[in-house]
Amino acid sequence: MSKNKLLVVSLLVAVTMVVSATVSMAAPITIKFSHVVAENTPKGQMANKFKDLVAERLGGKVVVEVFPNSQLFGDNKVLEAMLLGDVHLAAPSLSQFNKYTKSLQIFDLPFLFEDMVAVEKFQQGPIGQKLLMSMKSKGLVGLGYLHNGMKQLSASDQLRVPEDASGKKFRIMSSDVLAAQFEAVDALPLKKPFSEVFTLLQTKAIDGQENTWSNIFSKKFYEVQPYITESNHGVLDYLVITSAEFWMDLPDDIRPVVKKALDEAIVFGNEVSEKKAIADRQKIIDSGRSKVITLSKDERKQWVEAMKPVWKKFEDEIGKEYIEAAVQSNM
Ligand code: LMR
């Protein structure tokens, strides 16, 4: 072999060694998953399940880091952070996307869905699936819906009829529909992050809030709210979201495995949500700290009549045909 050829071969060998060393040492892809609730909730458990499934199937290649309890970002900041690449997955409630799309406001309309079966039917139907992509032009992609459950009204006083809410301050998520819902009963809605709710209630800076049984239980709202009206007046579900850029940058052999793990984690989270809605309600009753108020048929009708005009107000922004399809999902 000539001197030159020998040099070329040695160089090639050296390059190959460096390349294979780099490949075998390649840092794993990190998926940061940020959320605001406790770990012992449907979302908390879903996120941890996703982390475990990814570790099992893609160990060494992909690592999921879960940040619960607003440790990393609150829902008011997480989407901006996602677009900047500082976090990769989140599952904000469907009420938190106002800035990016008006269509998802449909999920906040009071008394639209009769139960979680109707919610599931709508989400898995053609419109629900289309809504997953409603923020694509803004760089955000919905990967799936996750249930939490129906919302209840907690307060410092008994709420039996809409007049009982008049003049009272209620914390709401960042949603204009939810603001209109409370204004419809002459109450005062205040948009505040989830992480502040307990203190606001404890210090009596606000009178009440709306949330699911698992959130009321896991964040101890029931300890500082003597009454919970079992109103089931709306749904609190989540959109598991990522940035289009991050998602498309995942290697082609990795993305489907991550998606499958996520789909399975969502199925698991939905099972948790169903069980917790029953179990956490019972734990609250058993605690004796908060009285659960059951509405009579007539009382409930009054809430429906007071709040339902909100639909009309948002019909143009949301789309009449979407609302009609949601109503159909109750059939
Ligand atoms: C809330 O802010 O009340 C909820 O969105 C919290 C959550 O993520 O369940």
Minimum CA distance residue for ligand 1 atom 5: 93
Q: Determine the atom of ligand 1 nearest the C-alpha atom of 96.
A: 5
Is this structure's pTM higher than 0.95?
Answer: no
Residue 221 CA to ligand 1 center (angstroms) comes to: 13
> Which of 13-17, 93-97, 184-188 shows the lowest per-residue confidence on average (mean pLDDT)?
13-17
So what's the pLDDT on residue 290?
98
Alpha-carbon span 295 to 13, nearest angstrom: 78
So what's the pLDDT on residue 26?
81
User: Which of 170, 173, 191, when mutated, tests ligand 1's pocket best, judged by the most ligand atoms within 8 Å of its CB?
Assistant: 173
Strands 152-155 and 140-150: unpaired
Q: What is the pLDDT of residues 92-144, one digit of tens each?
A: 999 999 999 999 999 999 999 999 999 999 999 999 999 999 999 999 999 99
236 touches 148 (CB < 8 A): yes
So what's the pLDDT on residue 4?
61
Q: What is the pLDDT of residues 280-330, one digit of tens each?
A: 999 999 999 999 999 999 999 999 999 999 999 999 999 999 999 999 999
Residue 194 CA to ligand 1 center (angstroms) comes to: 6
Domains, the chain, ranges and CATH?
Answer: 12-328 (3.40.190.170)
For residue 5, pLDDT beyond 80: no
Residue 173 CB less than 6 A away from ligand 1? yes
